[in-house]
């Protein structure tokens, strides 16, 4: 009878040990998954931040107005080369050029800051 | 004076005053176009931001054309050649002449002129459209009053130049 009891006790102990091992394994897996999931979340967050806001700010300008400003600058230079050009007309031409470019350049500067 | 004549006179005076008024403030506009021809290879390119509309006014409407050119291609050389031969024939000198593969900017003037001609050609391969425009600007950089364009068109034979630029835009006959 006592042998039978002893066998049962051994079996119980073995079961307890297995149970403990099983729990330990799952606990370790849970830790690993928690760490991996945290790393994955951090990676995704950083990637989104890099592409959305981390890179250079997009310029709020179209190419057309910039080209027009450049042509206006070149035109002002051409006007300055006219043989009978005078200060009054040239000053007005510069004023027209400033009107063509000033707000655009201000936008550009503020976008680049 | 009959009522009809009186109304007609008032309308004419209002028109002239309107043109003069807009002419005074035309200084704020970039430039006045003498002729402009646009070409497009597709019908859904949207509005061309470089289209000056009818520029000098309804009287000169024929100088502003938009064409459907199915095989639109880069005609920089042809456009430049046509404009340069016109400037040569008219004894104009060129304060600026620059051309890249898809763009031309030429300024031309003479000792007797009170301003400069500006030739602009641009081809946008992506949107499949091109435009050649001849502008005129006063010495002070202001746009010319639209009511003064007609004499310029005649004196400088802009209609002939327009015909040649029209062909050149299609790379034709040049």
Let me know if B110 is exposed, middle or buried by CB neighbors in 10 A (0-12, 13-18, 19+): middle
pLDDT given for residue A111 in this prediction: 84
- At residue B173, the pLDDT reads 61
Instruction: Report the percentage of chain B scoring pLDDT > 90.
Output: 49
pLDDT at site A18? 87
With 80 as the cut, is the pLDDT of residue B156 above it? yes
- pLDDT for A91 equals 94
Q: Which of B111, B120, B140 is opposite residue A83, by nearest beta carbon?
A: B111
The interface pTM score, or ipTM, of the predicted complex is 0.75
Facing A97 at nearest CB: one of B109, B116, B141? B141
CB contact under 8 A, B49 and A74: no
A68–B107 CB contact, under 8 Å:
no
Look at residue B76 and tell me whether its pLDDT is greater than 80. yes
Per-residue pLDDT, averaged over B149-154, amounts to: 89
Show residues of chain B in contact with A83, CB under 8 Å: 111
pLDDT of residue A21: 84
Q: B49–A64: do the CB atoms touch at under 8 Å?
A: yes
Determine contact: B46 vs chain A, CB below 8 A. Answer: no
Q: What is the pLDDT of residue B58?
A: 64
Q: Which residue has the higher pLDDT, B16 or B55?
A: B55
Q: For residues B157 and B60, which has the higher predicted lDDT (pLDDT)?
A: B157
Residues 80-139 of chain B with CB under 8 A from chain A are 95-96, 98, 105, 107, 109, 111, 116, 118, 120, 137-139
pLDDT of residue A1: 57
Tally A–B CB contacts below 8 A: 61
Sequential pLDDT tens for chain A (113 residues): 567 788 888 888 888 888 888 888 887 777 777 777 877 877 777 777 776 665 666 677 788 889 889 999 999 999 999 988 999 999 999 999 999 899 999 988 888 88
**B141 → chain A, closest CA residue:** A93
Residue predicted with more confidence, A103 or B45: A103
Task: Tell me the shortest Cα–Cα distance from A69 to chain B, in angstroms.
Answer: 10
- Nearest-Cα distance to chain A for B80, in Å, is 17
Residue B5 is predicted with a pLDDT of 55
Smallest Cβ distance to B142: which of A64, A82, A96?
Answer: A96
Contacts 24+ apart (CB under 8 A), B94-103: B95/A77, B95/A78, B95/A79, B95/A81, B95/A82, B96/A74, B96/A77, B96/A78, B98/A74, B100/B76, B101/B74, B101/B76, B102/B74, B102/B76, B103/B76
Sheet holding B103-109, edge to edge: B64-68, B32-40, B129-138, B115-124, B103-109, B93-99
Residue B122 has pLDDT above 80, yes or no: yes
Mean of pLDDT values over B20-34: 52
- The number of beta carbons lying within 10 Å of the beta carbon of residue B124 is 17
- Could you tell me which residue, A59 or B27, shows the higher pLDDT? A59
Distance from CA of B57 to the nearest CA of A (A): 22
Residue B16 has what pLDDT? Answer: 37
Model-wide pTM > 0.90 = no
Q: Which residues pair with B18 in a beta bridge?
A: none
Work out the minimum CA distance from A86 to partner chain B, whole angstroms: 9
Residue B136 has pLDDT above 80, yes or no: yes
């Amino acid at each position: 009878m006592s042998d039978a009891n002893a066998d049962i006790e051994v079996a119980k102990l073995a079961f307890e040990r297995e149970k403990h091992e099983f729990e330990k394994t799952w606990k370790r897996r849970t830790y690993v998954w928690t760490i991996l999931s945290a790393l994955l979340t951090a990676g995704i967050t950083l990637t989104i931040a890099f592409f959305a806001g981390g890179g250079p700010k997009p310029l709020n300008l179209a190419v057309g107005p910039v080209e027009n400003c450049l042509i206006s600058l070149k035109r002002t230079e051409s006007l300055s080369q006219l043989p009978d050009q005078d200060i009054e007309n040239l000053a007005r031409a510069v004023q027209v050029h400033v009107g063509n470019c000033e707000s655009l350049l201000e936008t550009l500067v503020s976008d680049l800051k | 004076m009959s009522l009809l004549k009186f109304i007609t006179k008032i309308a004419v005076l209002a028109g002239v005053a309107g043109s003069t008024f807009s002419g005074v403030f035309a200084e704020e506009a970039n430039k006045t176009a003498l002729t402009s021809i646009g070409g497009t290879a597709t019908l859904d390119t949207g509005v061309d931001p470089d289209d000056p509309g009818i520029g000098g006014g309804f009287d000169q409407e024929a100088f502003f054309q938009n064409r459907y050119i199915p095989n639109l291609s880069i005609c920089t050389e042809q456009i430049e050649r046509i404009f340069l031969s016109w400037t040569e024939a008219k004894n104009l000198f060129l304060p600026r002449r620059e051309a890249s593969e898809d763009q031309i900017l030429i300024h031309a003037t003479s000792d007797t002129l009170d301003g400069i001609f500006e030739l602009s050609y641009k081809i946008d391969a992506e949107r499949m459209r091109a435009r050649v425009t001849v502008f005129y600007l006063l010495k002070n950089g202001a746009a010319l009053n639209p009511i003064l364009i007609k004499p310029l068109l005649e004196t400088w034979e802009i209609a002939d130049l327009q015909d040649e630029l029209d062909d050149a835009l299609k790379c034709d006959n040049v």
